[in-house]
Amino acid sequence: MQEKRWWRNEVVYQIYPRSFQDSNGDGIGDLQGIISKVDYLKSLGIGIVWLGPIFQSPNDDNGYDVSDYYSIMKEFGTMEDFDCLLETYHRAGIRVILDIVVNHTSDEHPWFIEAKQSRDNPYRDYYIWRDPKDGHEPCNWESVFSGSVWRYEEETGQYVLHLYSRKQIDLNWETEAVRQEVYKLSKFWLDKGVDGFRLDTITTISKDMNFPDAPVVNKGHEFQPAVQYYMDGPEIMRYLREYKEKVLKNYNVVIIGETPGCTPKEALEYLDEDTGAMDLAIQWEHIEKDPGSGEKWDNDFWTVSYFKKIMTKWQTELYQKAWNVLYLSNHDQPRQVSRFGDTKKYHKESAKMLATCMHMMQGTPFVYQGEEIGMTNVAFDDIEQYRCVETRNMYAAEIERGENREEVMARIHKKSRDNARTPMQWDDGLYAGFSTAEPWIGVNANYVRINVKQQMEDENSILRYYQRLIALRKKLSVITEGKYELLMPEDEAVFAYSRIMGDEKLLVLTNFSGQDRNLDLDASWIGGRLIISNYKEVSENNENQPLRPYEARVYYWGKQYD
Ligand code: TEU
Ligand code: CA
């Protein structure tokens, strides 16, 4: 495992441990469950798994609120289970990446329990405290999860900062001891042999410490979106470079930063091999128009031409300078086939088309659990069935503001993070084969139709298609290395692009609509050889025949294929 930049040739699979596989019948996914699925991931062709947070946590935000960085969450198992997981996956040739959450800790972390005792407690400066301003919050910033970013602490008469939930208190990276703690815990896990980190919300660790009021953009909100004051802040590069210098550069690991709101220009700074600090950046631009507006719950702005523009920008600007992350789904986003495809008439076709469009681009594809079988959004009737702290807070705030319940639920059905967090659908048995007991969150009722077992047996399933896509990437280096170029840029439904490397080339044709679409490509694209498609009855060579609803076809020119 010594080769450099090994992550460029692999596909990453993201596991949300709580929802993947329960092994002991308590309704909660766990490490033994993950261990039991190693052959499944191997058969898919996965080279790297990213595990959502597995550390001790009161689970206000499902592990993104850590109370002990050195022990495994009780519900997930023990340190022995973790060691066994690492060994099992390594033996199968799959690398393991941990999700490190160091923008904040849980309010139940011993550091915070100490810090809130008194103003002169040695841990006080691990967090960010401010005096009340005219008897109120120090500034008007709105938390990502609704309400103010400030929480008042009676005992010491000060407010403490939390960008996320009230139980996720932001660490103060200005404090040398905090940075030392981060280095120490990172070394602990790296020395165990993990293959890298995904650094949760890492671009918010440096804030504007003057805490200016944010401009009022929406009179309906008491507090204001203030992302410009805490994203990619003034000291971010200094913190990250020091982290790399003191810890990360001593290991052959991959560092993946979660970088919401990041532009290609900023990404190039983060990703620079000499002066930067990470290997991959999970940018958000193609799935969230304006994360800064704080209006994630608004109706979709998304159009195919917008998507093409954003993807093309990233493909072009990072080319030969840095490496892209290719994804449409994760644990914070609705299911991709519900959002960008058609779950009714063209479920299979659209799920395969979306995968083709992403996997043929330049970068490392990230597959989020269940995506490979086309899992869909869920629509629970009652807010009580939702578990996500963001969703529940949003609901409470909107109802209090007098919004209409049905309308609020409709937005939740569309965008709630719980859409992606229902249990993995393994088979058509009780609780979808996820558990023998009632799961911590409801199973999507469509598991009888959409599940791994059925798709393993079906040659034409979405799952089998993912296997083929991943195998192709291993076979044809033009998929990893080729230069990207957008074709038919103006088309509102067809996303067509080419990949070129020497005398090898790929033509990727995808239709994002439920209608037939004509192709408008010049004669140099006639011919080639069909290497994958989501329809039957496709000619072996490209003749520019129209694309059928959600059709995807990929043609190859070159010598590597046999
Ligand atoms: O997400 C960071 C982040 O920007 C999200 O909170 C995003 O704004 C939100 O999900 C929009 O719906 C990371 C994790 O991926 C997320 O699960 C955590 O809740 C969050 O950090 C706090 O740790
Ligand atoms: Ca369990």
Do the Cβ atoms of 247 and 239 come closer than 8 Å? no
Ramachandran assignment for 93, one of left (phi > 0), alpha (psi -120 to 50 degrees), beta (any other): left
> pLDDT for 356-373, tens place per residue?
999 999 999 999 999 999
Report pLDDT for 293: 44
Q: CB within 8 A of 109, min separation 6: which ones? A: 66, 67, 68, 169
Residue 498 has pLDDT above 60, yes or no: yes
Q: pLDDT at residue 561 above 50? A: yes
Q: Which atom of ligand 1 is nearest to the CA of 165?
A: 22
Residue 325 in this model has a pLDDT that exceeds 70: yes
Give the pLDDT confidence of 360-410 residue by residue, as tens digits: 999 999 999 999 999 999 999 999 999 999 999 999 999 999 999 999 999
Average pLDDT over residues 43-47: 98
Q: 506 - beta bridge partners?
A: 499, 556
Alpha-carbon span 422 to 416, nearest angstrom: 11
Active site residue 200: yes
Nearest CA to ligand 1 atom 12: 332
Closest listed ligand to the CA of 393: 1
Per-residue pLDDT, 322: 97
Amino acid 294: pLDDT: 47
| Structure confidence at residue 300 (pLDDT) | 63
Q: Which of 115-129, 224-238, 275-289, 436-450 has the lowest mean pLDDT?
A: 275-289
Q: Is 504 in the pocket of ligand 1 (CB under 6 A)?
A: no
For residue 208, the CA-to-ligand 2 centroid distance in Å is: 41
How far, in Å, from the CA of 61 to the mean position of ligand 1?
Answer: 9
The whole-angstrom separation of Cα 65 and Cα 108 is 9
Indicate if the alpha-carbon torsion angle 146, 391, 326, 282 is positive or negative.
positive
Residue percentage of the chain with pLDDT more than 70: 97
Helix or strand run (H / E) with residue 104: strand 104-106
Residues bordering ligand 2, an ion, CB closer than 5 Å: 22, 24, 26, 28, 30
Cα separation of 436 and 457, whole Å?
Answer: 23
Please tell me the predicted confidence (pLDDT) of residue 377.
98
- pLDDT at position 383: 98
Residue 292 CA: which ligand is closest?
Answer: 1
232 lines ligand 1 (CB under 6 A): no
Alpha carbons 192 and 86: distance in angstroms, whole number: 9
Residue 301 confidence (pLDDT) above 90: no
In this prediction, residues 166-194 reach a mean pLDDT of 98
CA–CA gap between residue 490 and residue 436 (Å, rounded): 51
Question: What token pair was written down for 14?
Answer: 């993201």
pLDDT bin (cut points 50, 70, 90) of residue 291 is very low
Is a pLDDT exceeding 90 seen at residue 288? no
The kind and range of the H/E element at 44 are: helix 38-44
Q: Is 200's C-beta closer than 6 angstroms to any atom of ligand 1?
A: yes
CA distance 412 to 416: 5
Spatial separation of the C-alpha atoms in residues 201 and 433, rounded to whole Å: 32
Long-range contacts of 130-138 (CB under 8 A, 24+ apart): 130/158, 130/159, 130/161, 130/211, 131/157, 131/158, 131/159, 132/157, 132/158, 132/159, 137/223, 138/211
Q: How far apart, in whole angstroms, are the C-alpha atoms of residue 31 and residue 72?
A: 9
| Dihedral sign, Cα of residue 87, residue 89, residue 94, residue 100 | negative
pLDDT score of 292: 42
Question: What is the pLDDT averaged over residues 345-366?
Answer: 98
Minimum-distance ligand to the CA of 394? 1
Task: Please state whether beta strands 158-161 and 129-130 pair in parallel, antiparallel, or not at all (unpaired).
Answer: antiparallel
Which H or E run contains 400?
Answer: helix 389-400
pLDDT at 290 exceeding the cut of 70 = no
Residue ID of nearest Cα to ligand 1 atom 14: 200
Q: What token pair was written down for 95?
A: 């690398």
Q: Look at residue 209 and give its three-state secondary structure.
A: coil
Q: Give me the residue label for tokens 């608004």.
A: 298
pLDDT per position as a tens digit, 509-520: 999 999 999 999
Q: Whose CA is nearest to atom 5 of ligand 1?
A: 332
Integer Cα distance of 464 and 456 in angstroms: 7
Q: Which pLDDT does position 1 carry in this prediction?
A: 46
Please tell me the distance between residue 39's alpha carbon and the centre of ligand 2 in angstroms. Answer: 19
Rg (CA), the chain: 24
Task: Give pLDDT, residue 49.
Answer: 98
Torsion over CA: 457, 459, 465, 469 (sign): positive
User: What does the pLDDT read at residue 560?
Assistant: 80
Residue of 169, 200, 205 best suited for mutating to test ligand 1, as the one with most atoms within 8 Å of CB = 200
Mean pLDDT for all residues in the chain: 95
> Ligand 1 within 6 A of 394 CB?
no
pLDDT value at 489 more than 60: yes
CA 289 – CA 302 distance, rounded (Å): 8
Is residue 490 annotated as part of the catalytic site, yes or no? no
Q: Answer yes or no: is pLDDT of 96 > 60.
A: yes
The pLDDT of residue 52:
98
Provide the pLDDT for residue 220: 74
360, exposed or middle or buried, with CB in 10 Å at 0-12, 13-18, 19+? buried
Atom of ligand 1 nearest to the CA of 330: 15
Give the pLDDT score at 289: 61
Side chain identity at 382, as an amino acid letter? Answer: D
Written as six digits, the tokens of 528 are: 């080639």
- Other CB atoms within 10 A of residue 190 CB: 18
Q: Which of 60, 170, 195, 200 is catalytic?
A: 200
Question: Which of 81, 137, 258, 349 does the annotation list as catalytic?
Answer: 258
For 250-271, what is the mean pLDDT? Answer: 96
Rounded to the nearest angstrom, the distance between the alpha carbon of 88 and the centre of ligand 1 is 30
Could you tell me how many residues make up the chain? 562
